[in-house]
Chain A
Amino acid sequence: MNLKRFLARETSFFELPLTLKSRLLILIAVIALLPVYLSPLWNMTFYSNQYTDGLVLHIYSYQLEGGKTPNRDDLREINSLNHYIGMRPLLESDFSEFTWIPLVVGLLIILALRAMVIGKMSNLVDVFVIFVYFGAFSMWSFYHRLYMYAHNLDPTASIKVEPFTPPFFGSKQIANFTVNSFPGLGAYAFFAFAFLLLVAILLSARRNSVEVRRSSSLNEDILGPL
């Protein structure tokens, strides 16, 4: 009996219309997601006595970019240094992420706009759930990359180091380098998108539950308790 009621309530939840506020929020969320195409998802900086200004590595959703000044090409430099410990050079072409992340983000934007236009809760929840899964998978994928790069070291390398995992979040000492790794604006855009979608869901849900309550109490007034 209870299960039936629960299912009925859930079904009606997914059928709920989205309020204007929620729809606006979806639009804002889509705009907030755009930095994914412009800014790095993650930034890594490698400090040492020789590089007091730090070698910089920016991981975008679509490319890998080292800091570049007229006097230094950081990606080239990081690869030059890593070859001593037998790490494979970081090559953009090795990252399939740079193809599929922008594609999936584009699809999610289309789905989000679709949900906004159709204005149905189920569509919005779909986008949210897919996005959370996709976001988590992307992060895991990058983490896994870092792990694999630093765990598959050439056994003939001139400097033998224990396999390690570069820091994913925070700071870590690796040989003579202090490595800092923090999310960039692109990652914050990811979080903002998810957060705004969640708020949109909750807003519509609350608004509807208030309306449902009001209408059900209206019914009670007329019909009395069932």
Chain B
Amino acid sequence: MKGNHTKLKWFGLGVLCTLITAGILVSCSKKPKVERGDTAEAAIATYVAPGDTDEYYMFYSGGHSGNVYVAGVPSMRHITTIPVFALYPATGYGFDKETKDMLGSYTWGDVHHPALSQTNGDYDGRWLFVNDNANNRMARIDLRDFKTKQILGPIPNISGYHGGSFVTPNTEYVLAASRFSVPLPKGTYEPIENYATKYNGIVAGVPINPQTGEMTVGWQILMPPFDFDLGSTGKGPSEGWAFWTCYNSERATGKLEVTSTQKDRDYVVAVNWKAAEQAVKEGKTKTISGVPVIDPKLAPGVVYLVPAAKSPHGVDVTPDGKFIIASGKLQSITTAFSFDKMMTAIQNKDFSGDEDGIPVLNYDHVKEAEVNVGLGPLHTQFDDQGYAYTSLFVESSVAKWKLGTWEVVDKIPISYNIGHLSVAGGDTMHPDGKYLVALNKLSHGRHMNVGPSQPESSQLISITGEKMKLLYDAFTEPEPHYAQMIKADKVKPIEVYPKEEMKNANAVWDVKDTGVTRDGNNVLVKMIAVRSSFEPNKIEVTQGEHVTIYLTNIEQTTDELHGFGLGEYNLNVVIDPGEMKVIDFVADKTGVFPYYCTNFCSALHQEMQGYLLVKPK
């Protein structure tokens, strides 16, 4: 009996093993089907022949890398990186005086939503704005030379700057908002138990100088401690309004995954920014950290709340400016709110209640339609044919639906878990359509295996036909939160800084003007870099002296960049043709230190070198 038992046991184990093995085999053969379009068609559609260039620039946020990446569409090739909030030795960003001062003491940022400047509701190719979700800064990149020109911030009172950088139709403002409410002014201590009453969120407008692009801290609005998420601006009939979504209208703390998802509705915040300007003019503000802050209770007519499906993310205004599309991440519908109906409700004071004195509109009275897009709608973009495209995170697909009929007409699966999406000109008054890029959170090894730290994936989809067609998979560095695509001919960058434009007297263009001068403890070096030498090629200083090098690249030819790497002094600066950069440091280490050209320039690049000689005190 005992023997039989054992046999039976062994037999059972054998069966189990067989089943497991079979199961493994079956699961192997049942590898998830890879979604792909017609290969030949897709190859032709994305092929950019050697020497040819792409049709669109795509600027995509580099998330916590602190960078903005530039890719060409349709090839999806990464073409360049624009460093914004982090050191980037490849272009010497953050090492010369100007960029060092701009970065301050921060070594990283979290680039979120790039916004191209607009004129009359369309991209004008002048500037790109990006917000820093971590350190509450806003940066402006000049598209004349693809360089970061200004970093504003940390902006007072803003905490967790996620609700940017959406621009108004004539780039009067870039939007700003707090995702993480805190006690204000910053620096105030307040127990978390008092979150609902003593913490505040902010929504704000950052004014832009229309000529120079210079950003300043503008007006702000004191809001309840909700988590303000994404935004967009009104256009056409809704011009003059700004919108944000918010989650956690529960004003909850702790485990927000649970605590902030108890109510069925959160809000879309609607701000009449022209009324906000008026309120500031009339002094209906209090000053917090030097900023005029509007209290909605004291300035009625500035802010309204529109109930939206819970935990909404994107809020997007249709190209004609008539509808505002907002979706709850946890539901399967997206809501089109009618701007007209909102205005009527506001006029008739048709409110269902208020939050800290901010009127709440009646969902059913301002809703135009609910579109059955699918699970987890996040973000919507538009094309030139009257269609909207909504990303579905949970369902991992894109839904194409018709404005007006509110019918879903097509769906395409995405690999995997799409966050934002970007259609060429997709947030303007005149979208280009043609291409859609799905900016995905997970790539799940659709690429060569590069170990556990995997890149994100971005998929190019053709939207010219009735059915969306997958064209290309690209793998992007973390983390493309959003991207904007602009027709290549709308951007007109220079390739060389013209000599005539150089106004700084410390920039020299002739070897005879170079040299080292002294002023007390300061050593001033006027240096030129040209194929293939630095002049002077020797700098002698005494330990402790403060050295300032004005380094001019006197080339006037495209792509003749020079670098200046100073070994063991932790310095690397790259100067473009016609550019002058200031390198300053204290020569605190004695000895002889080579400096050399780090950016390959010519046949005698290797010989482009010199020495810093530091004598002991």
Contact = CB atoms under 8 A, between A and B. Distances in A.
Given A72-B556, A72-B558, A80 B530 contact: yes
B28 interface: no
Contacts of B495: 70-71
A70 B493 CA distance: 10
A57 to B, nearest CB: 15
Interface in B413-433: none
A37 interface: no
Contact of B555 (A70, A80, A84): A80
A71 B557 contact: yes
Contacts of A70: 494-496, 498
A158 B607 CA distance: 11
B604 A77 contact: no
Contacts of B538: none
Contacts of B77: none
A84 B604 contact: yes
Nearest to B607: A158
Contacts of A72: 496, 556-558
A73 interface: yes
B555 A71 contact: no
B557 A73 contact: yes
A76 B557 contact: yes
Interface residues of B, number: 14
B603 A77 contact: no
A82 to B, nearest CB: 11
Interface in A62-82: 70-73, 76-77, 80
Contacts of A84: 603-604
Contact of A73 (B494, B530, B556, B607): B556
A71 B558 contact: yes
Nearest to B51: A52
B149 interface: no
Interface string A117-136: 00000000000000000000
B498 A77 contact: no
A84 B556 CA distance: 17
A80 B558 contact: no
A17 to B, nearest CB: 57
Nearest to B554: A76
Interface in B293-345: none
B604 A158 contact: yes
B489 to A, nearest CB: 16
Contacts of A77: 556-557
A158 B499 CA distance: 27
A122 B494 CA distance: 60
Interface in A40-90: 70-73, 76-77, 80, 84
Contacts of B487: none
B531 interface: yes
Chain B at the A interface: SS class: loop
A79 to B, nearest CB: 10
Contacts of B499: 73
Contacts of A76: 555-557
A71 B603 CA distance: 21
Interface string A4-24: 000000000000000000000
A14 B267 CA distance: 105
Nearest to A80: B531
A70 B557 CA distance: 9
Nearest to B603: A84
B162 to A, nearest CB: 39
A70 B501 CA distance: 12
Interface in B571-586: none
B465 to A, nearest CB: 38
Contacts of B556: 72-73, 76-77
Contacts of A73: 499, 556-557
A73 B494 CA distance: 14
Contacts of A71: 494-496, 557-558
A15 B496 CA distance: 64
B384 to A, nearest CB: 33
Contacts of A158: 604, 607
A92 to B, nearest CB: 15
Contacts of B557: 71-73, 76-77, 80
Interface string B190-232: 0000000000000000000000000000000000000000000
A77 B558 CA distance: 10
A100 to B, nearest CB: 28
Nearest to A76: B556
Nearest to A81: B531
B286 to A, nearest CB: 50
A72 B496 CA distance: 8
B202 to A, nearest CB: 43
B262 to A, nearest CB: 60
Contacts of B531: 80
A77 B494 CA distance: 18
Nearest to A159: B603
A200 to B, nearest CB: 47
A84 B604 CA distance: 9
Nearest to B555: A80
A80 B607 CA distance: 16
Nearest to A73: B556
Interface string B592-611: 00000000000110010000
A179 B419 CA distance: 56
For the complex of A and B, the 3 pairs showing the least CB-CB separation, nearest first, are A73-B556, A71-B558, A71-B495
6 contacts: A72-B496, A76-B556, A76-B557, A80-B531, A80-B557, A158-B607
Given A70-B496, A80-B555, 11 more contacts: A70-B498, A71-B494, A71-B496, A71-B557, A72-B556, A72-B557, A73-B556, A76-B555, A77-B557, A80-B530, A158-B607
